[in-house]
Amino acid sequence: MQFDDKVPIYYQIKNNLYHRIVAGDLAPGEKLPAVRQLAVDLTVNVNTVQRALSEMVTEQVLTSKRGVGNFVTMDTARITALKQRLSHGYIERLYTQLHALRLSDGEIVTAIQAYITANKEE
Amino acid sequence: MQFDDKVPIYYQIKNNLYHRIVAGDLAPGEKLPAVRQLAVDLTVNVNTVQRALSEMVTEQVLTSKRGVGNFVTMDTARITALKQRLSHGYIERLYTQLHALRLSDGEIVTAIQAYITANKEE
DNA sequence: TATTGTGTAATAGAGAAGTAGAACACTATT
DNA sequence: AATAGTGTTCTACTTCTCTATTACACAATA
């Protein structure tokens, strides 16, 4: 995983885990790799991983059992809500940004369709 | 202007200026407010403004005349290219993010159209 | 030429993020 | 009971961002 040095690493780790949970790559109830293992995988310090995880525990996206491991929540409704929140947020940001560049609603849709079309041919 | 504490302020100032230039709010050749004035307007330190501006000078989006002021480039092709670069980057990021959430190409377009439709009615 | 407005640069300090390393608390297993 | 694997916490250090302050360089103008 590569990081954007403009954004805190722990924050990017959180988002990466969000994505893997929403995508089902990490299933409800599934145990995460140990914090030390995650740190190695991400070539990051344990504390940085811990910060990301502990925030997600507070948000109840993860649960933590001391001496055992960290687990994805079993509450699928919460995961669905997370997906909703993330996708809506991403779209809203894009819309705001393109609007600031003075693209009309129609131009925005067209630009995205053009991007997708161009991508398919690769 | 409000700042996101997850991203460096100088970086956000750059993006804000990019947007204002691309949108034509700041015309080619137009003089920017004095750095000290910008600092006051943004409630930020002069050095922070200076860092944003000097990077944009390096990128040749702005030109600087010591003792006179900072000016938007007269090179309209460069501004057009900037708009292209920004909008493409924004779209690419959204696409990547929604794809990571396992939305198909069709669902992506639909979701954006839905967002725009919902927005119009407000 | 003196003053004012402008960009530019340099220093010192505060705070946040990240790293490194160690220690502690708990669980499961042998 | 001992050991290994796990989460959790703490301290010290570095780097980056931002602030505050001061000083310098250049241009326009009274």
pLDDT tens per residue across span B6-37: 999 999 999 999 999 999 999 999 999 999 99
Q: CB-based burial of residue B54 (10 Å sphere; 0-12 exposed, 13-18 middle, 19+ buried)?
A: middle
Residue A95 to residue B119, Cβ atoms within 8 A: yes
Q: CA-to-C1' distance for B56 and C1, Å?
A: 36
What's the number of domains chain A is made of? Answer: 2
**Domain-embedded: residue B61:** yes
- Over 70: is that where the pLDDT of A122 sits? no
Residues A29 and A49 in one domain: yes
> What is the rounded CA–CA span in Å between residue B81 and residue B75?
10
Residues B63 and B103 in one domain: no
Question: Whose CA is nearest the C1' atom of nucleotide D5?
Answer: A67
- pLDDT bracket for residue A17 (50, 70, 90): very high
Residue length of chain B: 122
Q: What is the CATH number of the domain that holds A19?
A: 1.10.10.10
**Domain-embedded: residue A2:** no
CB contacts < 8 A (A, B): 90
Residues B19 and B67 in one domain: yes
* Strand residues in chain A grouped as ranges (E): 62-65, 69-72
Neighbours of B26 (CB within 10 A): 19
Residues A110 and A84 in one domain: yes
- Per residue of chain B (122 residues), what is the pLDDT tens digit? 899 999 999 999 999 999 999 999 999 999 999 999 999 999 999 999 999 999 999 999 999 999 999 999 999 999 999 999 999 999 999 999 999 999 999 999 999 999 999 987 66
Q: CA-to-C1' distance for A56 and C13, Å?
A: 34
Residues B89 and B68 in one domain: no
**Residues on chain A touching B24 (C-beta within 8 angstroms):** 102
Q: What pLDDT is stored for residue A34 in this prediction?
A: 97
> What is the rounded CA–CA span in Å between residue A73 and residue A115?
35
Q: Which domain holds residue B109?
A: 85-120
Residues A54 and A99 in one domain: no
**A36: nearest nucleotide, CA–C1' criterion:** D6
> What is the rounded CA–CA span in Å between residue A120 and residue B40?
48
